[in-house]
Amino acid sequence: MFNIYNRNLKRGALMSRIEIKEYILNNRESLVEKIMARQWRLMPELKEKYNTAMVEKTKSDTSYNLNYLTQAVFIDEKSTFSNYYNWLYTVLKERGIGIDVLKKHLLAISATLPTQLEESKSLINAVRENNKFTNLKIMVGGRLFLEKVISGRK
């Protein structure tokens, strides 16, 4: 189980998975802005070369990343987030975007989340430290799932 602390609860009390999900979803816009600001500090060269459309796409992608993190915490299944990042790494690699960008993005997410989301940060760090971002079994399953989603099949 994810051990998350809620400042509104008695010190040391666990925050439920529903509270975690609600926190991230209710604060998504603010979290995305903070994550992006931190990412620009970590990689100023990206901010210089990104146009408005690229910045908006990155914000949208950051929101998706938070969604997968939220779902992984909510269903208490760490592989949901790590599988997603394996897939994302493959997609970005094909587009010429290196692993360093993903690792720094994960660092920005982890550094932005409040301390009561410590377990989420641990999950992010575990994914970030995976230098290969590859697991073919996961990728094949993820690809089949995405093909079904795209085609409208269940």
pLDDT computed for residue 129 by the predictor: 58
* Per-residue pLDDT tens over the stretch 22-37: 888 888 999 999 999 9
Confidence of residue 120 (pLDDT cuts 50, 70, 90): low
Total domains, the chain = 1
Q: Give the separation between CA 59 and CA 82, rounded to whole angstroms.
A: 20
Residue 22 within any structural domain of the chain: yes
Residue 34 within any structural domain of the chain: yes
Q: Give the separation between CA 74 and CA 77, rounded to whole angstroms.
A: 8
Poorest-confidence range of 16-20, 44-48, 61-65, 81-85?
16-20
Residue 104 within any structural domain of the chain: yes
Instruction: Measure Cα distances from 7 to 20, 92, 109 in Å.
Output: 12, 37, 19
pLDDT computed for residue 115 by the predictor: 56
Residue 141 within any structural domain of the chain: no
Please tell me what DSSP assigns to residue 5: B
Of 54, 20, 24, 15, the closest CA to residue 36 belongs to 54
Residue 6 within any structural domain of the chain: no
Residue 150's identity, in one-letter code, is: I
User: Is residue 133 predicted with pLDDT exceeding 60?
Assistant: no
pLDDT computed for residue 18 by the predictor: 79
Q: Give the separation between CA 72 and CA 134, rounded to whole angstroms.
A: 19
Higher per-residue confidence, 76 vs 147: 76
Residue 109 within any structural domain of the chain: yes
| Degrees to nearest 5, angle at CA 95 with 103 and 80 | 50
pLDDT computed for residue 139 by the predictor: 38
Q: Give the separation between CA 97 and CA 118, rounded to whole angstroms.
A: 28
User: Is residue 150 predicted with pLDDT exceeding 70?
Assistant: no
Poorest-confidence range of 69-73, 136-140, 150-154?
136-140
Residue 9 within any structural domain of the chain: no
Q: What domain range includes position 66?
A: 17-77+97-132
Residue 10 within any structural domain of the chain: no
User: Is residue 141 predicted with pLDDT exceeding 60?
Assistant: no
Contact criterion met (CB below 8 Å) for 89 and 132: no
Q: Give the separation between CA 146 and CA 152, rounded to whole angstroms.
A: 10
